Chain A
Amino acid sequence: MIRAFKLEWLKLKHYRVFWILFGLYLLAQLIITNGGVFFLQWLESKEVEFDGISPSILPIYDFPDIWQNSVWLASFVKVLISVVVIVSINNELSYNTLRQNIIDGVSKREFLLSKFSLILFLSGICTLVLFGSGLVAGFMYSHVTDAKYIFDELEYLAAYFLQLVVFCLFAFSLGMIIKKAGFAIVIITLYSLVFEPIVTAILEFSPIANGFTKGLVKFFPIYSMEKLVGKAYESPFAKYFFQEIKDNIIWYEWLIAIGWAAIFMLFITWLLNKKDLKA
């Protein structure tokens, strides 16, 4: 695995496009998770009130709620991270370097592992940055800073990590079958932000929805990975208005997401073994 990661590292260390794209993602993640206080202040300046409560006193950065809040927000920009993965995969195919790597002595398994290690690296850094920015915001604004609260509900960070890994593997699979990077990016954006959400919303909420379709949606890829940190309509902020929120991750939600990771890995392995890599 270390050898596989080093192979990937040699390819990306000096690749400016990669660092810019990854940097942009981290920036977007930081803005969306830590910009909340400015947003609330702006709302207040516009004299918006929620049930008579001034927005700026909402304790959105209180430990441990901050973890669920940030993770839920960061989940909105995750499509950007798939761009990094798609560009990396697309380079290998368009420069024919995947073929060259294999000819030079990389096994297909090792190639898969090298890209998987990249995905773990990206997701790991994103999660760490989220943890770091959460700590900073928490220490600045949280009303409680006991370790007991800080380290409570860290499972949301693990859920965020898993979500990114599964989503990146999805991008990896798409990158392998769609030759043009731009097209692959459009497809993953449309699929994850438009197509699947519409289909799952119909199956879950429309008049035709029944017990079966409501169970079925849980197995959709984007649905299952988003369910981990809360779907878009499951805002953790609703609790400030005394509404019920999703406040835990059910065991089978972890399992379905991990299942998708395994399916994507198997699919890519199958593709690598079956595909003729022509010059």
Chain B
Amino acid sequence: MSVLKINKLTKKFGKLTAVDQLDLTIKEGQVYGILGPNGSGKTTTLGMILEVVAPTSGSFEWFDGMKNVDARQKIGSILETPCFYSYLTAEQNLRIIAHIKKCSYDRIDPILKQVNLYERKTDKFKTYSLGMKQRLSLAAALLSDPPVLMLDEPTNGLDPEGIAEVRQLIRDIASKGKTIIMASHLLDEVQKVCTDFCILRKGVKLHEGSVNDILGETNVVEISSGNMDELMKAVQQYNGLEKIEQSNGSLKAYLKDGQSADHLNQFCFDQGIALKKLIPESKSLEQEFLKILKEND
């Protein structure tokens, strides 16, 4: 089942095209990252599919054609800034959310315990610290146990502990088979939690695919041994080698296609050299991201 289908969605602010003919399909169970530098149209896209920004043209469809309002009630959203009624308490604010999402008030206490706000539930929102406000938006998003979670820069402004907590939470929720849509400019965040991603730049989609496809191993292996000169000489004889170079006290061996680290290890062993270090380099999203940006320049 497709959770969201976006069709040629476009938003213009005057002369500026914030989102340009965007097509996207997000399926159930995906953890989908919308990746892009600041100002690339991520938040505008989320705004349009949540109907707070009016699209200039194009369309989108939730849950194979469910009414937008009903769909939004099934989506838990955490946007950049927590928005609540400052003169109401956490509990009173969540009652409003429960009413909107058509879920029972009974869930309010357990969810407040889950985000560690239960003791403060009768205090007004305006007395909360930023961290508490963010935890309350988390509680609001999870209140109705929604099948889809939407996050906009979820770790923005959090301390390292908070970042780790939120990432763990995203993985926990994803492991329950829920769909997560998140916008982020942090490459390693997307790499760590997402299954699929797309790259936006200036409102244009440059790339779309699964995170695993783009990652995986490269054909570069970092090696070292007790005698580096001997190793250098020996490896140069290896017929599966493309080239070799020195880097930071170890050697970087670029292998031909079809060759891998275990082949190289066997070769060295046969030459009577025991390797101290053997690290196949894996791709990082950062490299791929820069490569994709370059390709599209």
Contacts and interface: CB of A to CB of B under 8 A. Distances in A.
Contacts of A6: 99
Interface stretch (A157-165, A169-177, A225-233, A269-277): A269-277
Q: Which of A6, A10, A274, A278 has the most CB of B within 10 A?
A: A10
A102 B51 contact: yes
A185 B79 CA distance: 31
A276 B52 contact: yes
A107 B67 CA distance: 10
Contacts of A7: 96, 99-100
Interface stretch (B19-27, B80-88, B159-167, B258-266): B80-88
A10 B72 contact: no
A99 B72 contact: no
Contact of A276 (B53, B81, B96, B140): B53
A99 B83 contact: yes
A107 B72 CA distance: 9
B101 A96 contact: no
Q: Which of A7, A17, A91, A276 has the most CB of B within 10 A?
A: A276
Contacts of B100: 7, 101, 104-106
Interface of A: 3, 6-7, 10-11, 14-17, 91, 95-97, 99-108, 110, 273-279
B47 interface: yes
B87 A105 contact: no
Interface string B43-78: 100010011111000000000000011101111010
Interface of B is mostly: mixed
A197 to B, nearest CB: 35
B97 interface: yes
A248 B51 CA distance: 47
Nearest to A92: B85
Given A97-B83, A276-B47, A106 B77 contact: no
B92 A10 contact: yes
A273 B52 contact: no
A10 B75 CA distance: 21
Contacts of A95: 83-86
Contact of A279 (B43, B86, B95, B97): B43
Nearest to B124: A14
A276 B73 CA distance: 20
15 contacts: A6-B99, A7-B100, A14-B88, A95-B84, A95-B85, A96-B81, A102-B72, A103-B52, A104-B73, A105-B72, A105-B73, A108-B51, A276-B54, A277-B47, A279-B81
A5 to B, nearest CB: 11
Contacts of B54: 273-276
Contact of A103 (B50, B74, B84, B92): B50
Q: Which 4 A-B pairs have the closest CB atoms?
A: A105-B73, A100-B83, A105-B72, A96-B83
Contact of A11 (B43, B73, B74, B85): B85
Interface residues of B, number: 33
A166 B120 CA distance: 41
B52 A99 contact: yes
Contacts of A276: 47, 52-54
B95 A10 contact: yes
Given A102-B52, A274-B54, 19 more contacts: A3-B99, A7-B96, A7-B99, A10-B95, A11-B96, A15-B85, A15-B87, A95-B84, A95-B86, A96-B81, A97-B84, A97-B85, A100-B84, A101-B100, A104-B100, A107-B69, A276-B53, A277-B47, A277-B52
Nearest to B68: A107
A104 B80 contact: no
Contacts of A91: 85
Nearest to B74: A105
Contacts of A110: 69
Contacts of A275: 54
B79 A103 contact: yes
B147 to A, nearest CB: 13
B80 A106 contact: no
Contacts of B50: 102-103
A278 to B, nearest CB: 8
B82 to A, nearest CB: 9
Contacts of B101: 104-105
A85 B274 CA distance: 81
Interface string B160-190: 0000000000000000000000000000000
Contacts of A108: 51
A279 B99 contact: no
Contacts of B80: 279
Contacts of B75: 105
Nearest to A275: B54
A10 B92 CA distance: 8
B97 to A, nearest CB: 6
Contacts of A273: 54
